């Protein structure tokens, strides 16, 4: 079993829909990261959180430490949100990543 | 700030050749990382460094070497290239202090093909 599991692996939705991507992990962590990888390959860090909830524009990230689970939500989704979203957990010095969720938003 | 820069962007190597992937950051970050991303797979940590002169292995270090002689630079060396090292390589950096670790900043990646 992978230390970090994301679901779904692929998600296609219509513009305007509310999107949820899930991340479950099996190890103790000090922080969890959400990354966005654009179709061109570049990687941008969206959030780093260790408890509660963070919001940036239309993106919201939550984490439940007891349940070892995090969600990334996108409100009013737009085609430019199409990307791969990657969850990573930090234990000790290192980050371990999930395989990513490929999101496609159709106009 | 240029952020994290990587060179080259693309490279084709023959089996057995050697090369160095360059990575530099101008944000005075103490932590630096090398990841590889195989097609359809997640990021795997190759090596990381917590400061100049200090490096440590990640999940997949075999076939690679690193050095960190300065805070800014963290080159990755492939000594005897193998087809299994065909991948996209990302360098990243972050700052870790007494309040914890800051977010990671990624370079644009180097696409390496070994034939």
pLDDT of B25-70, one tens digit each? 999 999 999 999 998 788 999 999 999 999 999 989 999 999 999 9
pLDDT the model gives residue A107: 95
pLDDT for B95 equals 87
A98/chain B closest Cα distance in angstroms: 6
Residue B101 has pLDDT above 80, yes or no: no
B94: number of CA atoms within 13 Å, CB side? 18
CB contact under 8 A, A30 and B106: no
Please enumerate residues of A whose Cβ is less than 8 A from a Cβ of B: 4, 30-31, 33, 35, 41-45, 48, 50, 86, 88, 90, 93-100
The pLDDT-based confidence of B86 (bands split at 50, 70, 90) is: very high
Quick: pLDDT tens for A18-50.
999 999 998 888 889 999 999 888 899 999 998
Q: Is the peptide bond before A23 cis (omega within 30 degrees of 0)?
A: no
Contact flag B109-A43 (C-beta cutoff 8 Å): yes
Cα separation of A32 and B87, whole Å? 25
3-state secondary structure (DSSP) of residue A27? coil
Q: Which of A26-35, B75-84, B95-104 has the highest mean pLDDT?
A: B75-84
- Closest-CA distance, A96 to chain B, in angstroms, reads 7
Residue B40 burial (C-beta neighbours within 10 Å; 0-12, 13-18, 19+): exposed
d(CA B32, CA B73): 9
- Is pLDDT above 80 for B1? no
Q: A2-6, B96-100, B108-112: which range is least confident on average?
A: B96-100
């Amino acid at each position: 079993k992978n230390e970090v599991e994301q679901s779904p692996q692929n998600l296609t939705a219509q513009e305007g829909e509310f999107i949820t991507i899930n991340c479950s992990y099996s190890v103790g962590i000090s922080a969890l990261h959400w990354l966005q990888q654009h179709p061109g390959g570049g990687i941008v860090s969206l959030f780093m959180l260790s408890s509660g909830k963070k919001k940036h524009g239309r993106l919201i990230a939550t984490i439940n430490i007891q349940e070892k689970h995090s969600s990334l939500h996108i409100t009013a989704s737009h085609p430019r949100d199409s990307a791969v979203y990657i969850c990573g957990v930090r234990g000790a010095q290192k980050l371990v990543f999930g395989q990513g969720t490929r999101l496609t938003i159709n106009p | 700030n240029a952020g994290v820069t990587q060179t080259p962007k693309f490279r084709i190597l023959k089996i057995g050749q050697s090369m160095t992937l360059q990575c530099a950051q101008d944000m005075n970050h103490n932590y630096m990382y090398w990841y590889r991303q195989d097609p359809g797979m997640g990021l795997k940590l190759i090596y990381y460094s917590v400061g100049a002169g200090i490096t440590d292995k990640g999940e997949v270090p075999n076939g690679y070497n690193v050095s960190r002689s300065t805070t800014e630079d963290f080159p990755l060396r492939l000594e005897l290239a193998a087809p299994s090292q065909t991948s996209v390589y990302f360098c990243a950096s972050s700052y870790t202090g007494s309040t914890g670790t800051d977010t990671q900043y990624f370079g644009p990646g180097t696409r390496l093909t070994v034939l």
